[in-house]
Each structure stands twice: as C-alpha cells, then as structure tokens.
Amino acid sequence: MEEVPLQPIDVSLATSRGVVVHQRFENEDQQPLPYAPQVTYRVSRLPEDKLVRSDVSDAGWTPTSAEIDKLDKFLLLREESSLGLHILLALFGCHTLWPLTLHFVLDGTSNDVFVARRPFQMSGFYGCPMRMDVDAVRGSELVRIGCAREYFSPYGAKCYVLCCLCTTYTDIDRCDGDAIATRYTVRTNLCCCGRVNNCCGGTPGKRDAIYDILAAGGNTVSHLHLVGGEWSRAFVLEFPPDSTAEDRVVTALFQIQTAFFEPGPT
C-alpha cells in the first residue's frame, strides 16, 4: 500500500501530548454544512504544563469549565446521524447503538480531514462487535487508515468481565491494505472492579474516572480521563508515547463515549 502523506492535521496531532474534548453548543459555530449535525465536540490540545491523571487520587489535572473555555480549539468533531432512527432504536432498547458518522473538521472550515463511520451493530455480547472505521480525506478520495473496534475474544472471558466486572476493551487498529494490526487497547472499567475505582465516575458526585490505554503487550502506556461536573462531560486524553495513531485514539474515545456515556442526538 502506498504510504499516505502527512497533512497539517496529522502533524498537529502528532506534535501534541494529548487532547481535551468536550461537547459544545451548536450556535457557537455557524459554518455551512451539507448535513445537519446532531452533536458537535470541540477538540483542544492538552496544555504542556498539565498532566493527565493516572488515578483518581493523584495530582493530575482536573479541568474546570473556565479552564476549558480558555483552551484554543483546533479541531471540531461533528456527529451526523438520524434523530428519527435514534428514537426508533431507543424504543427497542438500543438507544446507544445508533449508526453515525463523525466528521473531523479543522476549526473555521467546513472541509473534512477525517471521517469515522459506525454502522448499527448489536455489540460483542450478541456476537456483533461494534466498530468505527476511520478514513483520511485525501483530495476527493477517502483512504482507510484504521478503526476502533470492540474486542470481545475469547467470548466467554469477555462476557465474564463485562457482566461481572463492568469492563470492556476497545482495540485501536491500523490498516495497511488488507492487513490490520492492533496498536493499542482502551480498557474501560465502569465500576469498582479494576485498577481504578470508577464507580459513579464522571458525575457531579465523583468528577473523575480513569481508563487505561494498553500497548499490544498489555502494559499501560497512557490514560483517558473522563471529567464530569458543572458542565457536560469532557475527556482529557493522553496520547501514548511515540504514537502514530493519534487520530484512531481520538476515534476510540468517541466509540466509548457513544456506547456508554452519550444518550444520543438531542
């Protein structure tokens, strides 16, 4: 497969230590679009002097709404989805599984730099793991560069950790032609049964929840910090050292967000 040349957004992500992502109001941004976005997220670079928490009790950074507002945004993520389909799926108990497209857009523009798509899938518990495919926009073409997918193998073991330990795994894959290689795995534990006690995390009662990003060998290489509180949830994401998959790490964040924390289009 011919190597995909770096674009300014690739360089910007690769030179950042991480990102801060939070939902923003639609009327703050009025770029003309060929679709009606349901939800928009603002992406800012992680400040150089801030450390991402590795535990709810350490001295890392938990941003306030005022600090978030002062950050320079460089990327917007807009969700394109069908409100009617979401309502229909909610009637059948599938309110977190609606199909969607995420448009990665440089701030101040309306042109996509990445596109991530998630089809309707019932989840790994039902034998149909969820996934988001990531394409880079190169001129008029879309080039598949990777995906974030629910890791549910072996099935029995993953059923146990999901049902008894409230823990899921999301693989971050890099695509090279027909070959797929897993670069990282995000381990999301939603209760007290894990390295970090995340029970009620990301809520006004307990603002912080910490999730681990694992290398292929299983060792922890960085962290994802969910912050709740006086405004809608935000994520503080630390990129793994020497990462070349920052765009897919961000995509994995939204796979987790839409699967567990976002009630859907509003």
Sign for the pseudo-dihedral over CA of 105, 122, 165, 156 = negative
pLDDT at 216: 85
Say which DSSP state 83 is in: H
- Tens of pLDDT along the chain (266 residues) come to 344 444 545 546 667 888 898 876 554 555 555 554 567 888 888 998 999 999 988 888 988 888 888 888 888 888 888 888 888 988 988 878 889 898 988 877 778 888 999 999 999 999 999 998 989 888 888 988 888 899 999 999 999 999 999 999 999 888 877 778 888 899 999 999 889 999 988 887 888 999 999 998 889 999 999 988 665 678 898 888 877 666 667 776 766 666 655 554 44
Which fold does the domain 8-261 belong to in CATH?
Tubby Protein; Chain A (3.20.90)
Contact of 228 with 210, CB cutoff 8 Å: no
Domain boundaries, the chain: 8-261
**Rounded-to-integer distance, Cα 52 and Cα 60, Å:** 5
Per-residue b/e over 123-143, b at no fewer than 16 CB within 10 Å?
bbeeeebbbbbbbbbeeeebe
**Rounded-to-integer distance, Cα 99 and Cα 20, Å:** 24
